[in-house]
Amino acid sequence: MPDSIRLLPDSIANQIAAGEVVQRPSSVVKELLENALDAGADDVSITFRDGGQTLIEVSDNGRGMSDVDARMAWERHATSKIEKAEDLFHLNTFGFRGEALASIAAVAQVQMRTKREQDDVGTTIIIEASEVKSQEPSASNRGTMISVKNLFYNIPARRKFLKSVSVETKHIVEEFEKIALANPDVKMALYNGDKEVYNFNKGTLRQRVEQVLPKTRSGEYVEIEENTDIIGTHGFIGSPERSRRTRGDQYFYVNGRYIRSPYFMHAVSNAYEGLIEKDHYPSFVLFLETDPEKIDVNVHPMKTEIKFEEGTAIYSIIKAVVKRGLGSYHQTPDLEDSLLHRKLSETGIPTIKLPESPRIKVDKGFNPFGGGEKKRVPTEWEKLYEPFREDENQPQPDLEPDIFSPGTFSADPTKFDCIAINRQFFAATAGGELYVVNVKRARERVFYDQYKAMREDQRIGSQQLLFPRTVEFSASDFQILESALDDINAMGFDIRHFGKNTVIINGTPGDLPKGDERQMLEQILIDFKDNSQELKLEKRESLMRSLARNASLKKEESLSSTEMNELMSALLNSNEPGITPGGKSVMAKFQGEDLIALLRN
């Protein structure tokens, strides 16, 4: 038998590497942006189309490449950033593997134009699926422009794996935001086709933070800074009111690199204990600076994870610094300092030496925590959830009733005897059967059915608001909202564009609880994101579910017996009375035999 092992051709090896490096269009954005920053650019502009699938173009004013380098850059393991193994331990660039460009070129059609300061002419190179098609001299200014077209055009399996344009767009915007937050001294712009998403001038970190993080949220940011022997930390922490039930606005960086570190993020959350609700996440932008020798960025191929030598000490420092930042508005500096010292000494780590006078910058001019009030008061909207939140955790009854399923609804609706058990449940009997009904879920089912029927009928009415509200979103949320706006309006909303990343709500569907339309829209967006990303539901469907859920949250006292009867008859008309659109049981049915079996002994 002949030998069968052979070396893979470069184009295939690169495609395989691309599987790791280029997961989706936003990975290309990340790699190209990081290269631009590594090249010393202070002005970077990105344009993408169709969620990055057809085009991603990044131009920078960095140092550019010679025509030989312009060719070399696309080879695998080609890098100017490390020469010898030791260099791996002193990294001060984002890149070092020399894999990104080779991987990108393996799965797309790429064009690069680049020029160094000292060269009279630049060079333009075209590469498709790892194959150099042409390289020619070309005129340009100092810097580099790379355009990546038709990502995964030669790998249908990967292309199919891409999510919708709006989801990929959101990833790109988020990637941009992560990098923009860490580089306030770089002018950075992002365009979705011809539309400007962001255009940031150079500025301070505070300005960048204020530009990137959603302005709609109440509460402010406090600047923190602390330098110890182990690490330096600085950044902004959000006041407790800015906390959210989703982990959205948490940005954590080590030596300028965005890092996912559940451990250190926990240190921050821990510092907020008692200030925010249990299931909420604080919002922050936090930078750790440390000797590159102390970390190992090699742990994860995408370089968003990191290993620290002194993890537990750093955890304590982060927690103490954040705590102090949170307290710095209503406690005297002396007390604060002693608290911090005590906190740190409690950790039993002798190596931490705090500066004599801790350098916490407090901008007394702006009041971050709304007059120093610390306890977060739930808004009306949140109170609505409360009775139902408990409901989700309620232990299931200790018996096995016939969980209601379509077609088993045998009782005559006109003859229900209903009795409220509490605000969450009521019991209904008819024809020798007993139903125990979850009020909120029953409503959710009924509203959903109504929306569906109305949609088919095209008669969803909108109720105009007396005082239209404007709501500004983060750029990434706005992208999603925009992509769903027609569908949202078709459901009875009247929402229009109102400037950049901003909409005005003129009307809402009649059924929805009135009050905080802004929070409602945010909640609908959160549901919508979950529904469409995780469950991959069709847009309308995920909106109907979200609206039904929101409508069902209307706060009320126990239902009257007429209302309970109406709810029962509405359920009876449903094709699926037994489950919510999301598949949870609406009610349990007990028949005569069930009761006999239950009470036999």
Binding flag, residue 78, ligand ADP (CB under 6 A): yes
Contact between 480 and 525 (Cβ < 8 Å): yes
Q: Is 13 exposed, middle or buried (0-12, 13-18, 19+ CB in 10 A)?
A: middle
**What binding mask, one character per residue, do residues 99-118 give for ligand ADP by CB under 6 A, x or -?**
xxxx----------------
Instruction: Give least dist CB 389 to ligand ADP, A.
Output: 47
Task: Give the Cα separation of 595 and 588 in Å (integer).
Answer: 13
Task: Give the Cα separation of 514 and 55 in Å (integer).
Answer: 43
Nearest to 118 by CA among 48, 179, 63, 160: 63
Residue 73 interacting entry, from Mg ion, ligand ADP, none, C-beta within 5 to 8 Å by type: ligand ADP
Residue-wise burial string across 111-121, b where 16 or more C-beta atoms lie within 10 A, e elsewhere: bbbbbbeebee
The site that binds Mg ion (CB under 5 A) totals a number of residues, namely: 3
Instruction: Give least dist CB 188 to ligand ADP, A.
Output: 14
**In this chain, which of 35, 130, 316, 546 binds Mg ion, going by CB under 5 A?**
35
Contact between 115 and 123 (Cβ < 8 Å): yes
Question: Could you give the residue ranges of the DSSP H alpha helices within 458-591?
Answer: 475-490, 517-533, 539-551, 561-572
Instruction: Give least dist CB 422 to Mg ion, A.
Output: 60
**In this chain, which of 26, 35, 47, 61 binds ligand ADP, going by CB under 6 A?**
35
Q: Strand 250-254 relative to strand 284-289: parallel, antiparallel, unpaired?
A: parallel
Residue 487 interacting entry, from ligand ADP, Mg ion, none, C-beta within 5 to 8 Å by type: none
Contact between 176 and 28 (Cβ < 8 Å): no
Q: Which residue's C-beta sits nearest to Mg ion?
A: 95
| 499, two tokens | 């400037």
Nearest to 590 by CA among 408, 392, 442: 408
Q: Between residues 35 and 574, which has the closer beta carbon with respect to Mg ion?
A: 35
Instruction: Give least dist CB 197 to ligand ADP, A.
Output: 21
Q: Between residues 125 and 326, which has the closer beta carbon with respect to ligand ADP?
A: 125
**In this chain, which of 49, 97, 113, 445 binds ligand ADP, going by CB under 6 A?**
97
Task: Give the Cα separation of 32 and 128 in Å (integer).
Answer: 17
Binding flag, residue 27, Mg ion (CB under 5 A): no
Which sign does the torsion angle of CA 213, 215, 217, 223 carry?
A: positive
Q: Between residues 44 and 547, which has the closer beta carbon with respect to ligand ADP?
A: 44
Return the range that interacts with ligand ADP (CB under 6 A); candidates 22-30, 34-42, 241-249, 547-555. 34-42
Nearest to 468 by CA among 433, 503, 501: 503
Helix axes 539-551, 475-490, angle to 10 degrees: 80
Instruction: Give least dist CB 185 to ligand ADP, A.
Output: 17
Binding flag, residue 180, ligand ADP (CB under 6 A): no
Binding flag, residue 95, Mg ion (CB under 5 A): yes
Binding flag, residue 32, Mg ion (CB under 5 A): no
Residue 350 CA from chain centroid, whole number: 38
Range 125-144, binding ligand ADP (CB under 6 A): 144
Phi–psi pair at 518, nearest 5 degrees: -65, -50
Q: Between residues 84 and 364, which has the closer beta carbon with respect to ligand ADP?
A: 84
Q: Between residues 92 and 573, which has the closer beta carbon with respect to Mg ion?
A: 92
Return the range that interacts with ligand ADP (CB under 6 A); candidates 28-36, 289-297, 348-356, 468-476. 28-36
Return the range that interacts with ligand ADP (CB under 6 A); candidates 79-87, 162-170, 190-198, 235-243. 79-87
The site that binds ligand ADP (CB under 6 A) totals a number of residues, namely: 24
Q: For the chain, what's the residue count?
A: 601
**In this chain, which of 45, 79, 531, 542 binds ligand ADP, going by CB under 6 A?**
79
CB atoms under 10 Å from CB of 568, counted, come to 23
229 Cβ contact list (under 8 Å, min separation 6): 351, 352, 353
**In this chain, which of 71, 81, 374, 540 binds ligand ADP, going by CB under 6 A?**
81
Residue 223 interacting entry, from ligand ADP, Mg ion, none, C-beta within 5 to 8 Å by type: none
**In this chain, which of 17, 18, 73, 446 binds ligand ADP, going by CB under 6 A?**
73
**What binding mask, one character per residue, do residues 442-461 give for ligand ADP by CB under 6 A, x or -?**
--------------------
Instruction: Give least dist CB 129 to ligand ADP, A.
Output: 16
Contact between 75 and 102 (Cβ < 8 Å): yes
Phi–psi pair at 145, nearest 5 degrees: -130, 125
Instruction: Give least dist CB 117 to ligand ADP, A.
Output: 12
Binding flag, residue 186, ligand ADP (CB under 6 A): no
What are the angstrom distances between the C-alpha of 464 and each of 335, 448, 493?
Answer: 53, 21, 9
**In this chain, which of 31, 67, 482, 522 binds ligand ADP, going by CB under 6 A?**
31
Residues found near Mg ion in the complex (CB under 5 A): 35, 95, 100
Residues found near ligand ADP in the complex (CB under 6 A): 31, 35-36, 38-39, 60, 62-65, 73, 78-81, 95-102, 144
